[in-house]
Structure 1
Amino acid sequence: MRTYYWMVLPALVLFLLFHTVPVLQGLYYSFTDYPGYGEHAFVGLRNYLNLVKDDRILDAYLFTFKFALVATVLTNVLALAVALGLNARIRFRTALRGIYFIPNVLAILIVGYIFNYLFANSVPAVFGGTNILADPALAWIGIVLVAVWQAVAFNIVIYLAGLQTIPADLHEAAMIDGAGTWRRFLSVVFPLIAPFFTINMVLSLKNFLQVFDHIVALTNGGPGTSTTSVSLLIYTGGFQGGEYAYQTANAIVYFVVIVLVSLVQLRILQRREATL
C-alpha cells in the first residue's frame, strides 16, 4: 500500500502546486485592491459588491449565456442528426466518421483566424454583403457558427457510442409493430441514449460558457464590446486593465455560477431520463 502512496505523491504535489495554491492565492487577492503588481490593501467584499453594479460585467454575462444556450442547442441537434446518419448502413461510414472528427483536433485559434479571413473576404465576395463580424448585431452569430462547427465533432463521437449500445432486436421489433422512423426515434432510440444526451448537454454548456479562444481569433470582443464574454473580460481586465483583484473576484463568482448551472442542468436531465 505504501508503494501506491509514493506513486501518487508526485502527481498530488504537482496538482497542489499548480492548481490549489494559485486558486487559494487568487481567492485571497479577490479581497484586496491588488492591481497585479506592487502593494495592495485588504478591501473586504468591495470587489464582489461592485460586480453587480458594473454594466460591463452584466453585459458580458448576458452575451455569454445567450451564446452558450444557442450554441449548445445547435451543437447537440446537429451532432445527433449526423450520428444517426453515420450509424445507419451507408457506404464509407468509417471514413466519414474520421472526416467529421477532424474539426475537433484542430487548434481553436487557427480555426478562428481562418474563419475570420473567410468572413472578412471570401463570404462577402461570394454571397455579397459585408463582414458579419464587423456588425455589432450579427458578430455573435459568426462566433456561434464557428464554435458549433468545431464542437459538433466531439458530440458526434459520444452519440455514436450511445447508438451502438442499442440492440438491433429493438429496432426490428419496433418495425414489426409498424413504428415509423420518427416513432422509433422517440420511443426506442432517444430513451436509450438519454444518458449520452445528458453528458453532451452538460459538457457543451459548460464549455461554451467558458468561450474565449473563438472570440479572441474572430472579434477580440468587438465590435465595441458586443461580443465580450466573461472569460475574455476577466483576461483583458485582469492582465491588461489593472483590475487583477477585481477580475479575480469576477472569476471566482463565475466559477461558482458555472458549477451551479452544471449541477442544476445535470439534475434536471437525469430526472428526465427516469421519465423516458
Structure 2
Amino acid sequence: MSTLTEAVRTSTSGARNRRRAGRVRTSGSRALPAYYWMVWPAVIAFAAFHTIPVLVGIFFSFTNYAGYGDWSFVGLANYINLVKDDLVLAAYGFSFLFAIVATILTNVISLAIALGLNAKIRARNFWRGVYFVPYVLAILVIGYVFQFLFSNSLPKILSDIPLFRDNILTNPDWAWTAIVGLAVWQACAFSIIIYLSGLQTIPPELYEAASLDGASPWRQFGAITFPLISAFFTINVVLSLKSFLQVFDPIVALTNGGPGTSTESVTLLVFRGGFSGGEFAYQTANAVIFFIVITIVSLVQFRVLQRREADI
C-alpha cells in the first residue's frame, strides 16, 4: 500500500513538474516575438546606415565614378594607382608616425596619472572628474583654442626658444607635434578611466606583502601592478592606435593638412579627394585599403599583446 501511495505521489509530482515546464516553455515562446521586435529595428538601422553604404562604396571602388555624372568599370585600376601615388603613401606614413607616437605618449601619461589618482590623495574623486573633462568636450572647439595657443600665445611666452619663436603650425617639420599634443591631451581622459578600473581590481594585500618583503615601488610596479593590469593595457593600446590612425578633427582644427600636405592624414585625404576633389571612386578604394590595414593592425596587436598576457 505504501509503495502504491509513493508511486501516486511520484506520478503526481512528475505531472506537476511537466506542467510547470510547459508553462515556462510557453512563457519563453511568448517572449520571443518581443525580443525580435527589439532586435530587428537595430539590425535594420545598422544595415541601412552602415552595411549597405559600405557595400555600395566597395562596388564604386571598382569604377571611375567622380561622385557625379556617368561612370564605368575600371577593375583594379584604382587599387593599383594607390600604390603608385606619392600623396597617398605620404598620408599613410604620416598617419602611422602620428598614431605610434600618440599611442605611446597617451598610455605612458595616462598610466602615470592613474597611478597617482589611485593613491591616497586628497579630493581624489574631484581630480578624476577634472582629468575626464577633455573627453566630453567637442574636439573642434578645443582644437581652435589650441590653434590660438600655438599661433599667438606660445610665440610670445616662449620667444626665447627657437622652435616656438614662430608659429609652430606653419613649420612643416614640427606642425605634427602640435597635433599630437592636442590628440594626446584629449585621449588621456578615456585611457585614465580604463587604467583606474584596472588598478582598482588589484588586492591591496599584495602591496602590503611586497612592502614587508622590502620591494621598492618600481619593483612592485613591475611584479604586481603592470602584470595584473596587462589586459587593460591591451585594450588601451589597441583602441588608442586604431583611433589615432583615423585622426581627422585635430588636423582640421589646427592645420587643415598643412603646411602644404605635411600633416595630411589618410582620413583627411579621403574626405578631400572623395567629396570635393572629384575622386569619389579612387578615394573609396583608398578607404577600403585603409579599413583592411586598420583591421590587420588591430588583430596583430591583440594577438601579440594577449600572448604577452599569457606569458605573464
TM-score class, shorter-chain normalisation, is over 0.9
The 2-side partners of 1:217 and 1:70 are apart by: 20
Structure 2 residue aligned with 1:108? 139
State whether structure 2 residue 238 is matched by structure 1 residue 207: no
Name the SS for the 2:271 alignment partner. helix
Structure 1 residue aligned with 2:201? 165
- The correspondence for 1:13, drawn from 3, 27, 44, is 44
Q: Which 5+ residue runs of structure 1 have no aligned equivalent? A: none
The 2-side partners of 1:137 and 1:94 are apart by: 40
Q: Where do residues 146-225 of structure 1 align in structure 2 (5 Å cutoff)?
A: 146-225=182-261
Structure 2 residue aligned with 1:243? 279
Structure 1 residue aligned with 2:78? 47
The 1-side partners of 2:38 and 2:198 are apart by: 35
Structure 1 residue ranges, 4+ long, deviating more than 4 angstroms after superposition: none
Residues 9-36 of structure 1 show CA distances to partners (whole Å, capped at 9, x for unaligned) of 1111111111111001000000000000
Q: Which 5+ residue runs of structure 2 have no aligned equivalent? A: 1-31, 160-164
- Segment of structure 1 superposing worse, 74-83 or 108-117: 108-117
State whether structure 2 residue 263 is matched by structure 1 residue 230: no
Structure 2 residue aligned with 1:24? 55
Residues 148-197 of structure 1 show CA distances to partners (whole Å, capped at 9, x for unaligned) of 01100100000000000000000101111110000000000000000000
Structure 1 residue aligned with 2:297? 261
Count of residues paired in the alignment: 276
Residues 67-115 of structure 1 show CA distances to partners (whole Å, capped at 9, x for unaligned) of 0000000000000000000000011111000000000101110111110
- How many percent of aligned residue pairs carry the same amino acid? 64
Amino acid at match of 2:212: I
The 2-side partners of 1:194 and 1:16 are apart by: 35
Residues 119-176 of structure 1 show CA distances to partners (whole Å, capped at 9, x for unaligned) of 0001101111011110000000000011001100100000000000000000101111
The 2-side partners of 1:145 and 1:3 are apart by: 49
- Compare CA radii of gyration and give the structure with the larger one: 2
Structure 1 residue aligned with 2:64? 33
The 2-side partners of 1:23 and 1:65 are apart by: 24
